[in-house]
Amino acid sequence: MWLESIVDESENGSYEIHFRETNILECDVEYLLSAMADDAIRGTSSNMLSARFHNSMADLIVKTVRRISGGSSSNMVGLTGGCFQNKRLTELTSDKLQKAGYNVFTINLNHHEGKVSEIDESKGKLKVLVNMFGRNTPVELDSLQIKKV
């Protein structure tokens, strides 16, 4: 959550991420990590590194969707799971996928109420039970993502 909170909103750059040529869909993040380390050594701000990292992850997700969908006639993509609790990543990815012609579906928790079931003060995390689709679903959130009602 810290990395998301320090993003330089004006930075559009990203790092290259390639797929390995194997029988499974596998990305090679070696260049990304090397380029980030080089930028850090050159004194690039954490805000800019964060933005480039988030931009790179969004680009990777779009590349992955393109690879997976191949010749499919379906253009629907659902963004769900832990990494999409990151608002910046979700918005970037959704925008890029829509520009590429995909219909994107996300679960926005902004208007949901939930009951806190666990608190991990040392990590600043909470587990919240949110009613989705008629059942309580546990969602792990950063303490910065919630507000008391």
Per-residue pLDDT of 17-63, as tens digits, reads: 888 888 888 888 888 999 999 999 999 999 999 999 999 999 999 99
> Are 64 and 100 within one domain?
yes
> Are 25 and 79 within one domain?
yes
> Are 123 and 55 within one domain?
no
> Are 23 and 88 within one domain?
yes
CATH code of the domain covering residue 68? 3.30.420.40
DSSP structure class, residue 30: H
In this predicted structure, the answer to whether residue 136 has a pLDDT above a threshold of 90 is: no
> Are 120 and 101 within one domain?
no
Count of the separate structural domains present in the chain: 2
Q: 111 falls in which pLDDT band (50, 70, 90)?
A: low
Determine the structural domain holding residue 93 and report its residue range: 2-106
The DSSP secondary structure of 84-149, one letter per residue, reads GG-HHHHHHHHHHHHHTT-EEEE---TT--EEEEEEETTTTEEEEEEEETTEEEEEEEEGGG----
Note the pLDDT of residue 57: 92
